[in-house]
Amino acid sequence: MKRLSLGRRGEEVAVGHLASLGYEILERNVRTTAGEIDAVAREGGAIVFVEIKTRSGSSFGPPQEAVDRAKQRRLTRLALDWLQARGLLGQAARFDVVSVKLAPKGEPLVELFRNAFEARE
């Protein structure tokens, strides 16, 4: 339960950060049998698939490092399914990662990695 709460807090922080940068949030927590996309947004004419990783400490390394090749392949499949279901396969798209570090006191540290990885097969 604590991990879920941490993830939700991180998602709220990340989505707020993206909105402040001009991203239009289209959908959140897109779930399919193949997995979940944390957020889908539009920014600068592109559809952006956003993976949000949150940590409260440094024991497991920087949050963005959790988006490994296997996760990238899964996100690629999910993104293609999302685009196809909406008839948007020709639309420019990219993958961003948002790293959120929540501290017990103080402001969260948020890092945005635009175009964090290329689509993977």
Q: What is the pLDDT of residues 73-95, one digit of tens each?
A: 999 999 999 999 999 999 999 99
Is the predicted pLDDT of residue 42 greater than 80, yes or no? yes
Binned at pLDDT 50, 70 and 90, residue 63 comes out as confident
Task: Give the residue-averaged pLDDT of 16-21.
Answer: 97
Please tell me the predicted confidence (pLDDT) of residue 62: 79
HSE of 56 in the Cβ direction (CA atoms, 13 Å)? 10
Residue 41 is inside which H or E element, if any? strand 35-43
Q: Which domains does the chain have, with CATH numbers?
A: 2-117 (3.40.1350.10)
User: Can you name the residues that pair with 113 across neighbouring β-strands?
Assistant: 97
Residue 31 phi, psi (nearest 5): -105, 135
Instruction: Using alpha carbons, list the distances in angstroms from residue 121 to 10, 55, 59, 71, 101.
Output: 28, 28, 30, 11, 30
Please tell me the predicted confidence (pLDDT) of residue 118: 93
Residue with tokens 């964090």: 116
CA distance 80 to 86: 10
